[in-house]
Chains A and B, each alone.
Chain A
Amino acid sequence: MSTHGAELMYTYAVARAGCRPPDGLLGVADAPVETVAEGALAALVSRVPAADFDEEALRAHLEDMAWLERTARAHRSVVDTAAAEFCVLPLRLVTVHRDARGVRQVLAQRAEEFLSALVSLDGRMEWGVKAYVEDPGTAKPSVPASGSARQAPADGSGRDFLRRRLAHRQAQEQSQRRADELARAAHEALDKIAERSRLHRPQDPRLSGVSGRNVLNGAYLIPRDQAGAFAGLVGELADRSPGVRIELTGPWAPYSFTQAPQPSDPGGDTGAGGAG
């Protein structure tokens, strides 16, 4: 049998068997979301054209920002819509199987792990907190109004220039240290009331288009009934951290907490490969 020109199965999330996505929910490529059940588990899936989702096509697509954005938004829409109704274990973007049998196999093989993950995520949502400081590096170092900047650097103005650069640099380092301290303090406070937390890499301002340096990009797992308290704490932190802009995003499905907690892992780092 050949699967030529066929469809593949895009898998969004794992949930307990019996959980049903809302009717009419569409996934990537606008295909209806279905479930594939195995034992106590079910996967949320939809059919996608193999021409776009086999390995080679994907490699090309993933470098295409418009494609990546469409797919990521469709993925999120399915996962978050489902997460509003029942507990889900989100899967990574572009998890694709050949057919339902392949999906069932994974559900069977990793049933224990998935079930315990679902237990640990049940009734919790993820919230994101980002902190930014205005980076003095983005403002031009102020030039004394003597007009010397316009002239060809004579001896003296050359030294002035170096002195200004040094001062500028020191100011930057100082503000960076202060920002890092504030970020650490904010994270510690949030971590204390979160069940789990994870640090994502600070975002590159060229990608986010947001001004200021991103000094904290944290994800926090919070029981649903404590969302208000968490948001309150974020507000307090914002109030007592002058010069720092704090943003709260969410609630998210628990994307950042799909792995069993690792006691001694400082987090944040995506380690190279799993241990098989």
Chain B
Amino acid sequence: MTAPVPASEPGHPLADRQIALVDLLDRLLAGGAVIAGDLTLRIAEVDLVRIDLRALISSVNANVPSPFDDLGPDAEEEVAP
């Protein structure tokens, strides 16, 4: 085993030294050719982005208060009459 590396800093869970993990996950989870082979995980076909980011957000939420607490769901763009 290598020395334990803290996977995340409290305030910046996915901010990283080299390449930001969020940028990486945008590409590796939403991009890349999807192959369904014999044992290829059905999981790869499931919407990984959903599994992962939702799980991550909830794990992050515990430490980081949301700046958007009182905004409610993302405001739709309002069309002025």
Contacts and interface: CB of A to CB of B under 8 A. Distances in A.
Interface of A: 8, 11, 14, 54-55, 58-59, 62-63, 65-66, 68-69, 72-73, 75-76, 89-98, 102-103, 105-106, 110, 114, 117, 126, 128, 135, 137-138, 172-173, 176-177, 180, 198, 200-201, 203-210, 217, 219, 249, 252, 255-259, 270, 272-274
Contacts, number: 183
B37 A255 contact: no
Contacts of A138: 67
Given A97-B39, A255-B32, A92 B44 contact: yes
Chain A interface main SS type: mixed
B69 to A, nearest CB: 10
B35 A91 contact: yes
B3 interface: no
**Most B CB within 10 A of own CB, among A65, A90, A117, A205:** A65
B35 A249 contact: no
B39 A217 contact: no
B33 A207 contact: no
Given A72-B21, A93-B32, A200-B30, A206 B61 contact: yes
B52 A91 contact: no
B37 A252 contact: no
B67 A205 contact: yes
Interface in B5-21: 7-9, 11-15, 19-21
A210 to B, nearest CB: 7
Nearest to B14: A207
**Most A CB within 10 A of own CB, among B21, B28, B33, B38:** B33
Contacts of A98: 37-39
Contacts of B22: 203-204, 207-208
Interface string B34-48: 110111111111011
B56 A258 contact: no
B41 A96 contact: yes
B44 A273 contact: no
Nearest to A165: B70
Contact of A97 (B27, B38, B53): B38
B15 A65 contact: no
